[in-house]
């Protein structure tokens, strides 16, 4: 098994993804066939449980996208449960220090590279040789979404086992006490980007739409979420009504 999204990013190309929050494994499978490089099942803020997450990962794996997830918190067991179900990418929220990043990295891989516990894996859809390649193919992104995290971005990104980051722009703005897009907010985002470049890690960021995604890619971001399932449904519905002249 090759994590094609990770492979693209290591080759210097952007990987484009979508965030799923509605808890529908069927929608996950549909979107995995649309051309996204990865599909991100959001266990932090989305309506997912263990069973629906496992079903979503399996459905995503039937398409061309890579299954990833955001875990609920930076916890050894939370990370391990998602890996055992077949996540090939893990996003860990609210990582504010190098020590917290090391804890996430420790949970990601089997010894001697980490402390991940080995068990009869639920990711049976990958085959019996899963444990021979998992450490090589999984991708860990820590979220930089607070003022302290942005301040310590270089030391966080320098942690061995951390593959990249995923900036949360809205939470970062709230933490800084500024409006999204304010000059100081944008400066903080670009400092995180520079920290990734300096440490050789993959810079990532959440974006709400294609226009913002394009701008971030032009800046050098590579791990980029471009939409979310609920937003796409609402936008599609509004467009139908607009075409029927029900919405101006």
Write the DSSP string, the chain: ---HHHHHHHTT--EEEEEE-S--HHHHHHHTTTT-SEEEEETTTSS--HHHHHHHHHHHHTSSSEEEEE-SSS-HHHHHHHHHTT-SEEEES---SHHHHHHHHHHHS-TTTS-PPP-S-S-GGG-TTHHHHHHHH-EEEEEE-SHHHHHTHHHHHTSTT--EEEE-HHHHHHHHTS-TT-HHHHHHHHHHHHHHHHHT-B-EEE-SSHHHHHHHHHHT--EEEEEEHHHHHHHHHHHHHHHTTS--
Residue of 45, 125, 152, 185 with catalytic role: 45
45 a catalytic residue: yes
Write the DSSP string, 52-75: HHHHHHHHHHTSSSEEEEE-SSS-
Coil/strand/helix, residue 164:
strand
Alpha carbon 228 to its chain's center: 12
How far is it, in rounded angstroms, from Cα 89 to Cα 139?
A: 4
Backbone angles phi, psi at 86, to 5 degrees: 115, 10
Question: Which residues form the catalytic set?
Answer: 45
């Amino acid at each position: 098994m090759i994590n094609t999204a990770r492979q693209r990013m290591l080759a210097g190309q952007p990987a484009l993804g979508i965030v799923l929050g509605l808890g529908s494994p069927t929608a996950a499978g549909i979107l995995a066939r649309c051309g996204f490089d990865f599909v991100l099942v959001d266990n932090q803020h989305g309506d997912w449980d263990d069973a629906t997450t496992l079903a979503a990962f399996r459905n995503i794996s039937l398409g061309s996208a890579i299954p990833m997830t955001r875990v609920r918190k930076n916890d050894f067991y939370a990370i391990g449960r998602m890996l055992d179900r077949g996540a090939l990418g893990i996003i860990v929220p609210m990582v504010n220090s190098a020590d917290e990043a090391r804890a996430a990295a420790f949970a990601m891989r089997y010894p001697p590279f980490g402390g991940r516990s080995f068990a009869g894996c639920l990711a049976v859809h990958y085959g019996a040789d899963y444990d021979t390649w998992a450490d090589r193919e999984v991708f860990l992104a820590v979220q930089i979404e607070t003022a302290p995290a942005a301040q310590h971005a270089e030391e966080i990104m320098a942690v061995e086992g951390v593959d990249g980051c995923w900036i949360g722009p809205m939470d970062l703005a709230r933490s800084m006490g500024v409006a999204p897009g304010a000059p100081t907010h944008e400066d903080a985002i670009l400092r995180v980007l520079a920290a990734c470049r300096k440490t050789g890690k993959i810079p990532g960021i959440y974006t709400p739409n294609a226009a913002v995604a394009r701008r971030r890619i032009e800046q050098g971001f590579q791990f980029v979420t471009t939409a979310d399932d609920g937003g796409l449904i609402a936008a599609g519905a509004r467009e139908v009504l607009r075409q029927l002249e029900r919405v101006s």
